[in-house]
Structure formats: structure tokens, C-alpha cells
Amino acid sequence: MTASASSGGPPRHVAIIMDGNGRWAAMRGQPRSAGHRQGVEALRRTVRAASDMGIGVLTLYSFSTENWSRPAGEVRFLLELLRRFIRTDVAELHQSNVRIMVIGDRDGLEPALRKLFEEAEALTRENTALKLVIAFNYGGRQEITRAVQALAKKVAEGKIAPADIPPAVIGNHLDTGGLPEPDLLIRTGGEQRLSNYLLWQCAYTEFVFLPDYWPDFDADRLRHAVEAFRRRDRRFGGLTAQTA
């Protein structure tokens, strides 16, 4: 993964924490499941808008390693929504030249779900427009831990020396290896935290926190977030014309 500056064009990589489905539903006196259902509609709108804007990579936090602690009924519902989304939308996404990738820990997931991920990834592997990265059973600390374990194994087997592990090698052992780092991270729902999302990758990412609940997210809100991002002075620890 490489740090990427954006010079006027669309951000190369936008990551989103889609928060606020439950509160959106509660405000309307509806069950949380209604919020998640509308959340899928917002997700569809966002994928289309990101494609239209020429964004290269869109990474969505669909289910965290911590989300398993929610009530069993809600977990089942979220898993079913994801299954249905992939089954019903994969053909259209493929036609739109979207490449689907899934990041997160697949160990221990039910085989049918793993197969669904693998099939969607295989079908769309050669697509060259938007990369839609779905973070499922994803946790940043767990991802870094898996990368460290893989590297420690290579050291133990004598394949590499500890001194041959610069940050770029660690980055390439993450699930996002080969993708640019997020330029912009958007979190809806009013909270201002990372919640174990892309911890390594967000070292120089610009954050936009929105009060809106995720089911209300749309192309306009995405455009506004990108405009706010464009006004930022990204220095990557150095100096730019404004600060020199």
C-alpha cells in the first residue's frame, strides 16, 4: 500500500464507516433491521456515485470483528443482507466494470459465505473501473496481527531477515496490500472515532465526520465530503507552499 496525494482529480481511495442505521430507524419508530435495509440502499447509491465520480477504490465497513457481540438476530439479519446484496447485485456490478474485493478474516466463516465472496471476486477480477472493497469480519488490529504472524513465520523459516521488514513490506502483508492508502475517510452517524478500521492505512488519511445517519447518505453528501477533502492542505509530515 502506498501513500497517495490527490492533485485536483477525484480521491484515489475513499473509505467509509457506515454508521447510524439503528438510530435512523429508532427516530422513525421502526426496528433496527429497517435501518440496515435502508443502509443497503444508501450503499448502492454510494457505489454508483463513486463510480460516476471516478473514485478508484471504495472501502466499506460492512461488519467488524466486534459486531459479532450484537444480539444473534441482528447478526443473522446483517449477514443475510450482505449475502442478498452480493447475490442480487454482482451481475450489475460486473456489467459496470466494478471489481469486488473482500477484506477481513475469513477463517471460521461459514463455507457458503466464503464461497460467495470467492465467486464474486473471481467473476470481477479483471474489471478495471471502481474497486469495491467490502470489509467483513474486519478489524484493523486483527489484520495487523495476521500480517505480523505471516512475517514472523517467514523469519522463522529463514526466508527473510528481521532487518528486511520495512513499513512497505508490512503494508503489503495486510489485506489491502497493493491498494493505495485511503485519501479520505468518511464516518456518518456523528461519532468521531476509527473503531478499529484501517488503522495502519489511515496514517495520513483526511477524515470527514458527518452528523447524518448512513441511510440518508447519497451522491450529494459524497460530493460535499470530497469537496471538503480537496480544501485540505495535505502535508504528509512535510511542508507545502502554504506552510513553507
- Among 67, 137, 175, 183, the active-site one is 67
Sheet strand arrangement including 99-103 = 99-103, 131-138, 57-64, 13-17, 184-187, 206-209
Determine whether 164 is an active site residue. Answer: no
Establish if 23 lies at the interface with ligand FPP (CB under 6 A).
Answer: yes
Question: Among residues 116 and 151, whose Cβ is nearest to ligand FPP?
Answer: 116
**SS3 of 35, please?**
helix
Stretch that binds ligand FPP, among 36-44, 101-109, 161-169, 193-201 (CB under 6 A): 36-44
Angstrom distance (rounded) from CA 61 to CA 14: 11
Stretch that binds ligand FPP, among 75-83, 111-119, 144-152, 223-231 (CB under 6 A): 75-83
Establish if 22 lies at the interface with ligand FPP (CB under 6 A).
Answer: yes
Question: Among all chains, which residue has been given the C-alpha cell 457505489?
Answer: 47
Quick one: how far is CA 2 from the chain centroid? 16
Angstrom distance (rounded) from CA 42 to CA 57: 17
Asked if 213 and 20 count as a contact pair (C-beta separation under 8 A), the reply is: yes
Quick one: how far is CA 64 from the chain centroid? 11
Query: Residue 41 CB: number of other CB atoms within 10 A?
Result: 12
Establish if 82 lies at the interface with ligand FPP (CB under 6 A).
Answer: yes
Establish if 77 lies at the interface with ligand FPP (CB under 6 A).
Answer: no
Position among 1, 15, 16, 18 found at the interface with ligand FPP (CB under 6 A): 18
Position among 16, 43, 93, 135 found at the interface with ligand FPP (CB under 6 A): 43
Establish if 116 lies at the interface with ligand FPP (CB under 6 A).
Answer: no
Residue 123: its H or E element:
helix 111-124
Among positions 118-157, residues that touch ligand FPP (CB under 6 A) are 134
The three state secondary structure string of 155-224 is HHCCCCCHHHCCHHHHHHCCCCCCCECCCEEEECCCCCCCCCCCCCCCCCCEEEECCCCHHHCCHHHHHH
Establish if 67 lies at the interface with ligand FPP (CB under 6 A).
Answer: yes
Position among 1, 6, 12, 21 found at the interface with ligand FPP (CB under 6 A): 21
Establish if 79 lies at the interface with ligand FPP (CB under 6 A).
Answer: no
Determine whether 67 is an active site residue. Answer: yes
Establish if 65 lies at the interface with ligand FPP (CB under 6 A).
Answer: no
- Interface with ligand FPP (CB under 6 A): 18-23, 36, 39-40, 43, 62, 67, 78, 81-82, 85, 134, 189, 214
**Active site residue ranges:** 19, 67
